[in-house]
Structures are given as structure tokens and as C-alpha cells.
Amino acid sequence: MSAVMSRPLADYNSTELRSIDELDAAIGRLVRQMNSECYQMLVLVREFDDRFGWKKWGCKTCAEWLAYRTEICLSAAREQVRTAHALRRLPAISAAFAEGRLSYSKVRALTRVADLRHEDLLLAYALDTTAENVEERCRQIRNVAPESAHRAQRAWAKRSLTLWRNEARGTMRLTVELPIEEGELIARALDSAVAAGEVTTYVDPEAIAESKSTWCAQQADALVAVVKSYLDGGQGGDGASTADRYQVVVHADAKSLRGGAGCSDLPVETVKRLLCDCSFVTVFEDANGKPLDVGRKQRTVSRICAELCTHAIGAARSPVVTVNAISKGITWSIGSMAVKLTSTT
């Protein structure tokens, strides 16, 4: 048993005024104890699942039983069961968790990528940084895994828009599901419409308390303003390009873009898809984020190339489409098929 577990607990119900340092030390001891006990609980959950103990309660899975037994949501229970089994193959992380040096939030993130990177390196990084940084680094590591392309494809395949008309109320409801980068573009357009003053500015004094409803109404007005701008010949049109409508900064290891190991702020296939129709500037940085070289701004895909690609391979904006500039030509690839189109401009 660790020293953290063997220390006697203080009298936390005492009315004696404690100093800030005493409170800090007491909270720190309790946190380490909670981390250690969380590890012990996950070990028990793993054994419980291995022995199919949840069947005694007529549950379909261990996560279902755990959600009922511990009064947590089913998604959180699934994560705990997954983490419990993943720790079986991670002895160093398990030991640090058992000693209370790692929180459950860090361990949950580490178990998603520890099979892709060296366990000791990940553990050393997690011990010296915050849980937020660990989550971000693990997310970047997952983005260069092959599974990230499948996730991007699933998100793209599920995109949809439904219209529901309520004749009695005289309203229409729109429900849209898009990949997150496309959804952020819509959110940016709505924000721009609001900033431009193209929405209702009057607010009923009686509706002040219902600020959420007021915000939703404002967003609805912004959507109508964007649609009217398109119909009036604004940014819309068949030949319009998405280039330079908004700017994003994406950090990615160069070797990860070539299929190797590394980190990326977005799934690699998503980065390649964004490069299909945008002007971009490549910035090379060292391991500490210091810029080493800034490339020239490269132009977007020409209209002729875009039309030829659309005619040759259909919808060119699926997640499996990548584009690379090669001298004066453009190489589009879908799976194992590649078509090289040379611009005549």
C-alpha cells in the first residue's frame, strides 16, 4: 500500500480555521488518494468484466451494469471499462496511476494512443504537464493514425439536411449535420452576419431573462441574411471558391503528411481535403515551434482543373480526395486511382 493510502485523514469537519497552505496540502493528499482508489476500482471492474459478473443482473454489457451501479451515464461507463482493459498492457502508466501520480483524465487519454507511441515517453510527458495538454497531444497523435481517415469518411457520409414544415404554427425547422470543419464555416458566416448588423437589434425588455432564446433568434436572423445575400448574387455561385473566405492555422509534422508517425491538429485526410481548394502558405518550424522557413503563398486550384476533375472523378470534395501541386499540373488521387491534370492557363 502506498504512503498516500496509509496517511491518516485529517478532521475535515473541524471548525478550526486552516491556513491556505494547509488547505492546499490537504486537497493534494485527497486528490492523490482519489486517483489511487480510482485505479483500484478500474482493476475490480476489469476482473468483474472478465468473469461476466454483469450477467447476474441481466445486463447486456459491463458498461450497462456499471452505469446502473455507480449512477453515471452510459458513455462515461463505457470509457471506464475501456480504460480498465487498456491498462492491462500498460504497466508503467498503471503503476503511476496506482500511486496517485496520474489522474483519471490523463490516463483515459493516454490509453487511447499508448499503443502508437512509447509508453515511457508518454508517461514522462503526462507527469510534467496538465490534463488539458495531455488530451491535446493525444488528440494530435490520433489524428495521424489510419483510423482518423475512417472517422472523417464517416462524418462526411453522415452529412444531411432535413426540412420540417409546421403549417399550423407557420414555421419551418431545419436540421443540419456536417463535418465539424464545414460546420465551423457556417458558424463563421453567422457571426459575420451578426457583426455586420444584418439581424434584429431590438430586444424586448420582458425577454431579457431569456437570453438564450434571444441569441437563438439572432442566429436564425443571421442565417436568413446569409441566404438572402447568396440569392442576391453575393458570395454564392457555381464557380465560387472557398479559398480565402476564412483563415486557419494547422500544425502538422511533415512526416505525418507523408504517411509516417507524428502529430497533427486535424486528421491528416482532413488537412489534405482542406488543401484541395484554398491558397496556403507553408511554415516550417522546429520542435519548439520556432519558425525556420516561410514558403510562398500558393494559388488555388484553377477553374479549368476543377471542372475537369469534377467531370473525370465526380464529387471532388470527399474526404478521400487529396491534391498535390506538381509543377504546373495537379494530381488528384482517390484510393489507388490517380489522375494527373495539367492546367493550360
Residues 24 and 49 both lie in one domain: yes
CB 134 within 8 A of CB 110: yes
For the chain, state the CA radius of gyration: 27
| Domains held by the chain: number | 3
291: phi > 0 → left, psi -120 to 50 → alpha, else beta; which? beta
Q: Is the pLDDT of residue 88 over 70?
A: yes
Of 316, 257, 254, 309, which Cα lies nearest the Cα of 287? 254
Residues 8 and 105 both lie in one domain: yes
Is 171 part of any domain?
A: yes
Instruction: Return the C-alpha torsion angle 252, 258, 259, 262, nearest 10.
Output: -30
- Give the pLDDT confidence score for residue 232 in this predicted structure: 72
pLDDT in tens, 225-256: 888 888 776 654 444 444 455 566 777 777 77
pTM for this model (two decimals): 0.55
Q: How confident is the model at residue 188 (pLDDT cuts 50, 70, 90)?
A: confident
- Give the pLDDT confidence score for residue 204 in this predicted structure: 54
Phi then psi for 155, rounded to 5 degrees?
-65, -40
Is 122 part of any domain?
A: yes
Residues 325 and 198 both lie in one domain: no
Q: Is the pLDDT of residue 294 over 70?
A: yes
- Give the pLDDT confidence score for residue 244 in this predicted structure: 53
Residues 106 and 198 both lie in one domain: no
Higher pLDDT, residue 340 or 121: 121
Is 242 part of any domain?
A: no
Residues 17 and 139 both lie in one domain: yes
pLDDT in tens, 125-172: 999 999 999 998 888 888 777 666 677 778 788 889 999 998 888 889
Alpha carbon distance 273, 6 (integer Å): 55
Is 249 part of any domain?
A: no
Last residue of a domain, one of 143, 174, 191: 143
Q: Is the pLDDT of residue 6 over 60?
A: no
pLDDT in tens, 245-287: 556 677 777 777 777 777 777 777 777 776 666 666 777 777 6
CB 42 within 8 A of CB 84: yes
Residues 138 and 100 both lie in one domain: yes
Residues 130 and 180 both lie in one domain: no
Q: Is the pLDDT of residue 1 over 80?
A: no
- Give the pLDDT confidence score for residue 344 in this predicted structure: 34
Task: Compute the average pLDDT of residues 45-74.
Answer: 95
Alpha carbon distance 283, 198 (integer Å): 37
Domain hosting 313: range is: 254-342
Is 117 part of any domain?
A: yes
Q: How confident is the model at residue 217 (pLDDT cuts 50, 70, 90)?
A: confident
Alpha carbon distance 91, 122 (integer Å): 13
% of the chain surpassing 70 pLDDT: 67
CB burial of 258-278 (b: ≥16 within 10 Å; e: otherwise) equals eeeebbbebbbbbbbbbbbeb
pLDDT in tens, 94-131: 999 999 999 999 999 999 887 755 788 899 999 999 99
Residues 170 and 74 both lie in one domain: no
Is 149 part of any domain?
A: no
Is 243 part of any domain?
A: no
Q: How confident is the model at residue 181 (pLDDT cuts 50, 70, 90)?
A: confident
Residues 116 and 188 both lie in one domain: no
The H or E element containing residue 36 is helix 20-50
Sign of CA dihedral 191, 197, 199, 200: positive
Higher pLDDT, residue 214 or 342: 214
Give whichever of 184-193, 202-211, 247-256, 269-278 has the largest mean pLDDT. 184-193
Alpha carbon distance 134, 148 (integer Å): 18
Residues 9 and 139 both lie in one domain: yes
Phi then psi for 173, rounded to 5 degrees?
-110, 130
Residues 8 and 104 both lie in one domain: yes
Q: In this predicted structure, which of 19-33, 68-82, 214-228, 311-325 has the lowest mean pLDDT? A: 311-325
- Give the pLDDT confidence score for residue 133 in this predicted structure: 93
Is 112 part of any domain?
A: yes
Residues 22 and 134 both lie in one domain: yes
> Average pLDDT, whole number, for the chain?
75
Last residue of a domain, one of 99, 118, 143: 143
Alpha carbon distance 175, 167 (integer Å): 17
For residue 289, what is its C-alpha cell? Answer: 515551434
Task: Compute the average pLDDT of residues 35-39.
Answer: 97
Last residue of a domain, one of 108, 143, 178: 143
Task: Compute the average pLDDT of residues 84-101.
Answer: 95
Higher pLDDT, residue 295 or 343: 295
